[in-house]
Amino acid sequence: MTSPIDPIMLDKLAQVAVKVGLNLQPGQDVVVSGSAETLPLLRRIAVEAYKAGARLFIPLLSDEELTLARFQHGGDDIFDHAADWLYKGMAEAFDGNAARLAISGDNPMLMAQQDPDRVSRANRALSKAYRPAAMKISNFDINWSICAYPGRSWAKQVFPDIPEDDAVAKLAKAIFAASRVDQPDPVAAWAAHSAALHARAKWLDDMDFAALHFTGGGNDLTVGLAEGHRWVGGGGKAKNGIECMANIPTEEVFTTPHRHKVEGVARASKPLAHQGTLIENIEVRFEAGRIVEARASKGEAVLKKLLDTDEGAARIGEVALVPHSSPISQSGVLFYNTLFDENAACHIALGRCYSECFKGHFDAEEVMRRGGNDSLIHVDWMIGSAETDIDGITQDGKRVAVFRKGEWAS
């Protein structure tokens, strides 16, 4: 059986994951999660990691059928529980300077047929268990990265109308292009791309806007920014001193909004695939930073459960700018996967903010004082399109064109 996935491209993706994504340093452990189906990529990554001096590559492999078995055959009383000890251990590994790599490749619709109440309870329990490790990631304590592998069920979801092998080949090609491994020197291509994102972030930092005003595509949304917010894009330096590229691919520059200063209407420009459910045509209204009305043409119940997760789940912790001309957007593919879809359009994220998006290292309390948000969740959803206009509002109230018709204004 020949695989529809080009092995040379997998080799290059493994190199990008280790050299660009993690920028793995000698002596580091790597905690790696992905489904067992991603092994053709994981095995190459392990080889690259050990060549780069890794001490131990620790795979935490999942399997869609094992995951589903619980929802299909488990009793009703088991869903408020997760393997706390595993994630506590992972946090301990990060304390010991382990790097973190996640391979995204699962069926984004895996949970679509399962009881939403079970799914929501299980997700909540998992988020709570994962929190000690997740905080170290969102606080950028260690170098971490996510990249993608063209899993079969994901490929079938993205390209339902063509034979399965063709779908896998097509998704593989889209992933390789977005991850820049189809370029002659992928590592150099990433260096150039990262520099361009850094320049955009620097301009926004220099402008130090008080707020951004989104219009077009049904939006009339003012996003106040946190005090001392910092724009981040491309590679960044983790607190362990290692420069890494947290997302492969990435096209965004993003920062922390003020959790009390978001006002108006936001309309999703793409469906949101949230842990197995597709939520379509989201429209929400913010008052004083909080979502006070929420609608969706499909998956509204899941959306509302999500917003009810905790106090911070109905506020936003990230705003991100992506031009409509981004390669992922231009591919025209809806990936049903945040790692890709968030890099096709401007977006906001419900829930937890990134403490790295501040000018200075602040503790949790100071982050909150400056308008950062906290929650068990961090869920991105897309509001940008070819119609997106954005004005930056300066600290003294002037308007500056940031985006026009989906593109950088300058």
Contact residues toward a copy of itself (CB under 8 A) are: 1, 26-27, 29, 36, 39, 42-43, 46-47, 50-51, 53-63, 65-66, 69-70, 72-75, 78, 81-83, 85-86, 88-90, 92-93, 96
The structure tokens listed for 95 are 């304390």
List CB contacts of 402: < 8 A, sequence separation 6 or more: 204, 209, 212, 321, 390, 391, 392, 408, 409
Please report how close the Cβ of residue 112 comes to a copy of itself at its closest, in angstroms: 19
Nearer to a copy of itself, 122 or 266 (CB): 122
Nearer to a copy of itself, 82 or 301 (CB): 82
State whether residue 131 is helix, strand or coil: helix
Please report how close the Cβ of residue 48 comes to a copy of itself at its closest, in angstroms: 8
Please report how close the Cβ of residue 381 comes to a copy of itself at its closest, in angstroms: 29
Nearer to a copy of itself, 92 or 164 (CB): 92
Residue 2: Cβ-neighbour burial (10 angstroms; 0-12, 13-18, 19+): exposed
Please report how close the Cβ of residue 49 comes to a copy of itself at its closest, in angstroms: 8
From residue 135, give the alpha-carbon distance in Å to each of 94, 241, 254, 363, 369: 11, 17, 18, 12, 18
Nearer to a copy of itself, 65 or 365 (CB): 65
The structure tokens listed for 365 are 């309390």
First to last CA, the chain: 51
Please report how close the Cβ of residue 118 comes to a copy of itself at its closest, in angstroms: 12
Nearer to a copy of itself, 7 or 400 (CB): 7
Please report how close the Cβ of residue 3 comes to a copy of itself at its closest, in angstroms: 13
Nearer to a copy of itself, 35 or 277 (CB): 35
Nearest alpha carbon to residue 140 among 36, 240, 13: 240
Return d(Cα 1, Cα 299) in angstroms, integer.
39
Nearest alpha carbon to residue 274 among 357, 351, 173, 191: 351
Return d(Cα 71, Cα 55) in angstroms, integer.
37
Task: Assess contact for 353 and 229: CB atoms under 8 A.
Answer: no
- Backbone angles phi and psi of 148, in degrees to 5: -125, 150
Please report how close the Cβ of residue 192 comes to a copy of itself at its closest, in angstroms: 29
Which sign, positive or negative, has the C-alpha torsion 250, 366, 125, 270? negative
Nearer to a copy of itself, 90 or 346 (CB): 90
Please report how close the Cβ of residue 18 comes to a copy of itself at its closest, in angstroms: 12
Return d(Cα 350, Cα 353) in angstroms, integer.
9
Nearer to a copy of itself, 27 or 360 (CB): 27
Task: Assess contact for 146 and 246: CB atoms under 8 A.
Answer: yes
